[in-house]
Amino acid sequence: MLTRADLEAREVQTLAPYARLSRDARREFPESESESRTAYQKDRDRVLHTKAFRRLEAKTQVFLNAPALGDHYRTRLTHTLEVQQVARSVALSLGLNETLAETVALAHDLGHPPFGHAGERLLDSLMAGEGGFNHNAQARRIVTLLEERSSEWPGLNLTFDTLDGLNKHDRSGWPSERARPSLEAQVVDAADALAYTAHDLDDGLRSGLLRPAELLELPLWRALLEQTGVPSTDFSPGERRTLHRELLGWLIRDLTATSAARIGESGIASPHEAQGWATPLIGYSSGLRAQLREVGVFLRERLYHHWQVEMQVEQGEAVLSDLFAAFERRPSLLPPRPRARAEQLGLRRAICDHIAGMTDRYALDTHAALSPARAVRTR
């Protein structure tokens, strides 16, 4: 049986010099580490067993998580698992610590509220002047405060390396040598964009909101069709799946090769050098990066702002706005735990945390219970 010391020794022997090592991991609150798991493995397991992770199954990615829409569209959970798979594959190829990358990937979307980015925008507007709302910051709040695992410390007491990986946009307050997240966290950031680009195209086609002929505007899509030999407009569901699979493979290969070349050219020999580097070392080739930007603009215009998606956005915003107003008007409607937190955090922040933790279905059901007449109109 391999011990933690054996696993840590294996990392030293097999990982690249710029990879983060679990033997160096530290926590805010000292605790005994496992005899058979590394610190990053323990972080990963703690994230997997949170209520926040389980709730991702019923939170919107693009399409509202509702029975009427079917079960085959991505949810926030399936997106997270796809990011995990990509991040782990790329990290392994680059000699990085795949367990740290996997852990950051599993935790990166814990802070998303119901109804996707529409819910985030609404909560941010409601909390303007009081710190706002951001799903990245909320993920950190969940793992450092809101999830209750032990009476000895708040949150999950994850390692600083995992927490740093969730701090990918706001680097203020971190030591200068950590001007950037670890390479493992940079891999997760790139894998996130890769995964949602590929699966949002797939879900858009599956739903019929995107038509194959429209995608011919995109150089990336035309190149993909040429690579696969799939017909440009008249393709079957099986061929659509082939396009999704081949697109993922293409993006992963480019990401891995480009990142390996950048790392090699940099000459970095430690994780600290990697985090102090002036520019990101993980990324795509310039040509593919430009094509991905074009796809992002296309998806915003043709899918995320499609009138049928906007109908769902309107519904979600109305539901969350009503819930926030009801809880603020009558705090006794809050369950015991958020009501208790209101005394420490303030009522509005406690309401925000409570609503952000809801699934789409729970938000709709709670709204229906509080406002049955309005619920009939918004369903």
Digit-coded pLDDT (tens) for 273-293: 999 999 999 999 999 999 999
Residue 150 has phi, psi (to 5 degrees) of -145, 150
Q: With the C-alpha atoms ordered 358, 364, 369, 373, is the resulting torsion angle positive or negative?
A: positive
pLDDT of residue 71 exceeding 70 = no
The candidate with the shortest Cα–Cα distance to 259, out of 235, 288, 230, is 288
Model pLDDT, residue 373: 52
pTM of the model: 0.92
| DSSP codes of every residue in 242-276 | HHHHHHHHHHHHHHHHHHHHHHHHHT--SHHHHHT
Residue type, position 67, single letter: P
Confidence of residue 248 (pLDDT cuts 50, 70, 90): very high
Region of 95 on the Ramachandran plot (φ > 0 left; ψ -120 to 50 alpha; else beta): left
* 310 CB-near residues (< 8 Å, 6+ apart): none
Contact in structure between 56 and 25 (CB atoms under 8 Å): no
Residue 252, CA distances (Å) to 190, 305, 364 in order? 10, 28, 37
Contact in structure between 98 and 183 (CB atoms under 8 Å): no
Residue 159 has phi, psi (to 5 degrees) of -65, 155
CB count in 10 Å sphere of residue 124: 16
Token pair recorded at residue 241: 């799946």
Distance CA 22, CA 99 (A): 9
pLDDT tens for residues 309-341? 888 888 889 999 999 999 999 999 999 999 999
* 291 CB-near residues (< 8 Å, 6+ apart): 218, 219, 220, 223
Contact in structure between 102 and 182 (CB atoms under 8 Å): no
- Give mean pLDDT, residues 157-165: 96
- Give mean pLDDT, residues 81-100: 97
Please state which of the four CATH numbers 3.30.1460.30, 2.30.40.10, 2.30.30.30, 1.10.3210.10 is assigned to the domain occupying 4-15+39-310: 1.10.3210.10
pLDDT of residue 308 exceeding 90 = no
Model pLDDT, residue 145: 95
